[in-house]
Amino acid sequence: MQNERFIRKTDFLSAIKPLIYASKLIGIAPFRFTDQYPGKNNRNNKYIETSTWGIAHSLILILGLSIAFIPHLNFKITHIHFSYSYTFVIFDVVGSVFLFLASVMSLLQQAIIYREELKDSLLTICHIDTYLLRKSYSTVYKKTNIILVSQLFITFSYFVTLFSFDFITRRTDFGFFHCFIRYVINVLDVVMSLQFVNLIFLIGHRFTVLNMELSCTITANQMNIEENASSSEQNDTVSVIEVDLNNTIRREKRFRNILRYKSDTDTHIYTNELLRKRLRNQIVLTVRTLRRIYLLLHSVIMTVNSCFGIQIMLTIISSATATTLNIHTLIVVLTKDLDTPVKDTMSTFLMLNLAWTVPAVLRLIVITASCEMSKKEAERTAVIVQKLLLNRYLDHDILEELQLFSQQLLHVNTNFTACGFFTLDFGFLYSTLGSVVTFLIFLTQVWESYGQHSRVIV
């Protein structure tokens, strides 16, 4: 049984290998797969653990990015200062600094500070799947693998295309070094965001399965108890209940001597009551197991908030800043009366701005949408428990276990936060979009006052 459960864990780790290897390449997943139980029979069974070389690789990347970003930022400021207005310089520099900090913090927290917690969270999900996904391992893990591979392929293709176009059209302005540093920081931030979003969706899916398991366990098995009770007076044989057949046979043999001197009717009633009692105990055990799983998922949420909180906050700030700046540039180019040479020189720049706006906006939407959906699914558990408590046919033991589950849900907070500063949900997305619109109005007014004296449009 232990070996079988270990094989199930290997399936999960195999499903998420594409994202782990991509994250490991850029230093935010210092993990490796090794044999947990050495031996020729277990050589294909892999176990995840932290790698010393992976940690060293992350430290080298942090040091290299820190050293390379200083001249890159200095060159960027001096170049933009002579070409664009001060408002553009301020917003562009602020967005670049926050994006750099998000990338460095993701390396520092996920690879150094919280690496063990992140590994334990993955193994916790493996443990949860041994119960929740026991009937649909292959389907769920196959879909997970396909989704992750598709995400990485689309991300890689998009950035390679954008890098090629950017370097060919602007190599005289920034050169290969500054262009490369910019893309390394952006790719690192995008992969970190993908890691966060996929973990959130994975947690939300496990909450969905938990809710289905809870509803089906109580309602289906309670119906079987009622059917068994109603048919006990009509049948001379034991009613068919959805229990383990082998255990039922063993129970019947155990009590055969007790029932030897009883009539057939007494034997039927006694055995029937025995099965009903066993089924009630099984339901209570299932609900208690689901309670534990809910707490395990909550612990994973707390780990995700700790591991990704700071960098997600910095990513949201940099994405909102980049979106504001790029949309402002587009508005100025399309609405203001500019000279023809200026419009020609800005056409390429405008296309690149629009290309960079797409991942920035998608990060804002996907991060908040994933958190909102998973949060609602976690909150739906409380609604299901309250509905089940209204069932008048519930046994006292089952009712007591559901009441304990209800009390547990009152003390568990399943919100996803950015380092505790704000809750990631649609409400936060609406407020962020409102802030973007406010800054767009501000930038437009500044341009009308001072932008006409600038050498270029902003």
The per-residue pLDDT for range 367-418, each reduced to its tens digit, is 999 999 999 999 999 999 888 888 777 778 888 888 898 899 988 888 888 8
The pLDDT value given to residue 274? 66
> Which 8-state DSSP code applies to residue 237?
S
The amino acid sitting at 440 is L
* Locus of tokens 């799983």: 293
Which residue in this structure is represented by tokens 């200062």? Answer: 81
Q: Is the model's pTM score more than 0.85?
A: no
Which structure tokens are listed for 60? 């080298």
Residue 239 neighbours by CB distance under 10 Å: 19
Instruction: Name the pLDDT band for 286 (thresholds 50, 70, 90).
Output: confident
In whole angstroms, give the CA distance from residue 318 to residue 368.
Answer: 15
Cα dihedral angle (38, 40, 41, 42), rounded to 10 degrees?
30
Mean pLDDT of the chain: 76
pLDDT of residue 2: 38
> How would residue 38 be classed by pLDDT, with cut points 50, 70 and 90?
very low
Give 401 or 136, the one with higher predicted confidence.
401
215 or 262, higher pLDDT: 215
Whether 3 has a pLDDT exceeding 90, the answer reads no
- Residue bearing tokens 């044989």: 237
What's residue 266's pLDDT?
A: 47
What is the DSSP secondary-structure string of 258-291?
TTTTS-HHHHHHHHHHHHHHHHHHHHHHHHHHHH
Question: Is the pLDDT reported for residue 230 higher than 60?
Answer: no
Per-residue pLDDT, averaged over 233-248, amounts to: 37
Amino acid 299: pLDDT = 92
Q: Which of 176-190, 216-230, 327-341 has the lowest mean pLDDT?
A: 216-230
Q: What residues have CB less than 8 Å from 297, skipping those under 6 apart?
A: 128, 203, 206, 207, 210, 378
